[in-house]
Structure 1
Amino acid sequence: MSEAPQTSPTRVDEDELELARRLFDAARHGQTGLLGTFLRRGVSPDLQNTGGDTFLTLAAYHRRPETVAMLLEFGADPALANDRGQLPLVCAVFKQDAQSARLLLAAGADPDAGTPTARETAQMTGSAELLALLDGAAGEPR
C-alpha cells in the first residue's frame, strides 16, 4: 500500500485575505452587485470562512433575499452547513425571513436537515407562517 503524496496547505497572502473578508462582508450587508462581480470572475459561490459560513449562510442570516437569490443563480449550495451544523435555511427561518426561506426551499433546501433543523427553529420561534411554508415544502417533489 503506497502512501498518499504529501501536500502543503495553500497559503494566501494578505491581499487575498482582505478580499475574502470584503466578500463575506458584502454577503452580510447585501452588496449583491459587488459580490456578483467577483462570482462572475471565478470566485466560488460556496467559499467558506473560518467558521464554515458560506456567502449564502451569511446572506440568509442577515435577511438579504436579493443576495440569496443571486447566490442561488450562481449555483451556491443550500446544503452546505457551517461548523456548527447550521444551514442557510435555518438562518433564514431563525431571522423570520420568509422571502429567503422560499428561495432556499425552491433551490432544494431540506427543512429537516441541519442542527437544529429549519422546522425545529420555526417551532422554537413560534412562526406559524414559516412552519406552514416548511410544511408545504415537505409535500412538494424536489
Structure 2
Amino acid sequence: SKNKRSWIMSRIRSGNTSPEKQVRSFLHRHGFRFRLHKKNMPGKPDIVLPRLKTAIFVHGCFWHQCPACRGGRLPKSNLSYWEGKLKRNQERDRENSEKLQKLGWKVITIWACGTGGSRLETDLLGQLSSIP
C-alpha cells in the first residue's frame, strides 16, 4: 500500500550506512584519516581523504544501480517512476565525479556489494596505493 511504501522509504538512511561504516573502519585500521560528508564539495562525498585529495563515495547497489550485482534490479511496480529516479541518480553521480576531478580530486566509488570480505581490501588498497 502507499502508506506501507512511505513508511519503508522513511527508514532509508542517506549517511552512516553499514557499508559506509565498514569502509571507514577499514580506512582507520590502515592508518588513513578522513573527514565525513563534506557539504562544501560537489556531491557531498561520504569520505574525504584531504591529504590524498581523494573523495570516496559508498554507493548503495539499488539507489545507484550497481552494474555488477542483482541489487541494482528495478522494481516491477511503478516502473516509469523508478527508471527516471534511478537514471537521474546515475547522472548526478557522474556530474559530481566530473566536478571533483576538474577541481583536482581523485574520485573512488565503492559499491555496497563490494564492502564484504577481502574484496574491499583488494579494491580499495589498490586504488589508494596508486595515488601519488
Does the TM-score normalized on the shorter chain lie above 0.5? no
Structure with the bigger percentage of strand = 2
- Bigger relative contact order, structure 1 or 2 (CA pairs below 8 A, ≥6 apart): 2
TM-score by length of 2: 0.26
TM-score by length of 1: 0.25
